[in-house]
Structure 1
Amino acid sequence: MNVSLFSWVVIILAAFAANLPFFNQQLFALVPLNKQAAWIKPIWVRLIELLVLYFAVGIVAHFLEAGIGNVFSQTWEFYAITGCLFLVLAYPGYVLRYLRKKHA
Structure 2
Amino acid sequence: MSHTFEIWAVIVFALIAANLPFINERLFIVGPRRQPKVLGWRLLELLLMAALSFGVGALLEASIGQRQPQTWQFFAAAGCLFLTFAFPGFVWRYLRRQPYQGNE
Structure 1 length as normaliser, TM-score?
Answer: 0.93
Backbone CA RMSD of aligned residues: 0.9
Give me the whole-angstrom Cα distance separating, in 1, the residues matched to 2:75 and 2:40. Answer: 21
Q: Runs (4+) of structure 1 moved beyond 2 Å? A: none
Identity %: 45
State the secondary structure of the residue aligned to 1:59. helix
- Counterpart of 1:73, as a letter, is P
Q: Unpaired segments of 5 or more residues in structure 2?
A: none
State the secondary structure of the residue aligned to 1:12. helix
Q: Give 1:66's aligned residue.
A: 62
Give me the whole-angstrom Cα distance separating, in 1, the residues matched to 2:81 and 2:13. Answer: 13
- Counterpart of 1:25, as a letter, is E
State the secondary structure of the residue aligned to 1:40. coil
Q: Within the alignment, does 1:9 sit opposite 2:9 as a pair?
A: yes
Give me the whole-angstrom Cα distance separating, in 1, the residues matched to 2:12 and 2:57. Answer: 11
User: 1:6-53 deviations in whole A, cap 9, x for unaligned?
Assistant: 10000000000000000011012110144xxxx310101100000001
Q: Unpaired segments of 5 or more residues in structure 1?
A: none
- Counterpart of 1:97, as a letter, is R
Q: Give 1:19's aligned residue.
A: 19
Give me the whole-angstrom Cα distance separating, in 2, the residues matched to 1:33 and 1:22. Answer: 13
